[in-house]
Amino acid sequence: MPNQNSPSRYGAVAQAFHWIIAALIVTQFTLGWTAQFLPLGARKVARLDWHKSFGMTILTLAVLRLLWRLFNRPPELPAGMTTIEKQLARATHALFYVLLFVMPLTGWMMSSAKNYSVSWFHQFTWPNLIGPNEQAFNLLRTTHDTLSWLLFALALLHILAALKHHFWNKDDVLKRMLPFTKTEK
Amino acid sequence: MKKLALAATSSLIIAAATAAAATAAAAADSAASFTAAAEQSRLEFVGVQAGAEFKGVFHKFTASVEFAPDALASSRIDVQIDMNSVDSMDKDRDTTIRSKDVFDVSHDPTAHYVTKTITKTATGFAAAGALTLRGVTKDVPIEFQFAPAGAGAKLSGSAKLNRLDFGVGQGEWKSTETIADAVKINFSLVLKPKT
């Protein structure tokens, strides 16, 4: 499989970005949502420590992924799709990219506002984006939490759409993002 | 006549020399007394939580300082810290820090540091002293600079200690993976002459 995208499928780099970030997002939901139910204590601090390190990893990968995408156009959507379907698909993907940045950034700002600086796997510390501020923290936490539900809904829509394309429309939309598969053309 | 004058002169010199020596001895014995001006002084600690440093301060503390660079034997720094005045710029963390497992402020509301000996170093001064924290007394060395300013002075420096030596962090807070053992202390005291 070539590294670059072709007109009919995603290349190895785009696929790696997609699946690694997807796996990290699943990890983030598990860590973030379960941490909420822990009492304030060492276990919660430790779980959020992982959540922050993975979050900053996603932010870094999102920057690289966006750059890769800007210089490497994705394959064309299937010819059979209507204009509205194509616009919806593009809007969904654009919103994904927005969330890939906004989720880590609001999380990073939350940590800064609470004066809990973000470490990257205990290797180095990211600078604080804003100063300690309780009101800002509360607002950011609500935003981060609300957007996590939006991201969850979007991911569900994304998965259902991929399955619909594969089993209903019987096109290459799912296969072109899967390694070890062949696409026509 | 000449002989007499010579004798008188030499006895005068001896007297003057003796007086000067006495004055010098008196100066060497007396360090100046100061207290820290609370509003301009700062006592800060830097801990590592989840791999990232965080700073906190103690808003309330008193410092009594006897110090003269040429009278180190009689110099002494004595600091009393109100542990309840801890502020790490997060209410949740402050509540945890005051709790039984960490500072246990309801049981030990005050920490105390007092120097034993002060010596001159290449860059300033070093002191050996004892810190009493959470009911445990251990030696903690400090390094500091002393800069006279008018009638007062500025005393600033730092120290390093291991929180677990004092039992700061019991139960779940013992883990050094979550909270590192080493804690840095930075202080900057604005000293005014004791009245």
- Best A110, A111, A125 member to test B by mutation, with max B CBs in 10 Å, is A125
Q: Is the pLDDT of residue A163 over 60?
A: yes
The predicted-structure confidence for B151-191, as pLDDT tens digits, reads as follows 999 999 999 999 999 999 999 999 999 999 999 999 999 99
Q: How far apart are CA B73 and CA B35, in angstroms?
A: 19
Q: List, in sequence order, every residue forming a beta bridge with B137; answer none if it has no partner.
A: B132
What is the average per-residue pLDDT within B19-47? 76
In this complex, do A116 and B52 lie within 8 Å of one another by their Cβ atoms? Answer: yes
Residue A116 near residue B88 (C-beta atoms within 8 A): no
Question: Which residue of B50, B51, B172 is in closest CB contact with A41?
Answer: B172
- Best B45, B87, B93 member to test A by mutation, with max A CBs in 10 Å, is B93
**Structure ipTM:** 0.81
Residue in chain A nearest B90 by alpha carbon: A114
Tell the residue number behind the tokens 């064309």, with chain if given.
A76
The predicted-structure confidence for A112-137, as pLDDT tens digits, reads as follows 999 999 999 999 999 999 999 999 99
What are the structural domains of chain A? Answer: 12-177 (1.20.950)
Residue B151 near residue B136 (C-beta atoms within 8 A): no
Maximum C-alpha span of chain B: 92
**3-state class (DSSP) for residue A113:** helix
Q: How far apart are the first and last CA of chain B?
A: 54
What is the Cα Rg of chain B in Å? 23
In this complex, do A45 and B177 lie within 8 Å of one another by their Cβ atoms? Answer: no
Q: How far apart are CA A99 and CA A72, in angstroms?
A: 21
The residues, ordered by sequence, that sit 6+ positions from A179 with a Cβ below 8 Å of its Cβ are A1, A12, A15
Q: E strands within chain A?
A: 119-120, 124-125
Q: How far apart are CA B53 and CA A119, in angstroms?
A: 9
The predicted-structure confidence for A57-103, as pLDDT tens digits, reads as follows 999 999 999 999 999 989 888 888 899 999 999 999 999 999 999 99
The 8 Å CB, 24+ separation contacts for A176-184 are A176/A8, A176/A9, A176/A10, A176/A75, A177/A9, A177/A10, A177/A15, A177/A18, A178/A15, A179/A1, A179/A12, A179/A15, A183/A8, A183/A9, A184/A8
The structure's pTM equals 0.84
In angstroms, the Cα distances linking B169 to A43, B49, B80, B163 are 14, 12, 21, 7
| Residue A54 CA neighbour count, 13 Å, CB half | 19
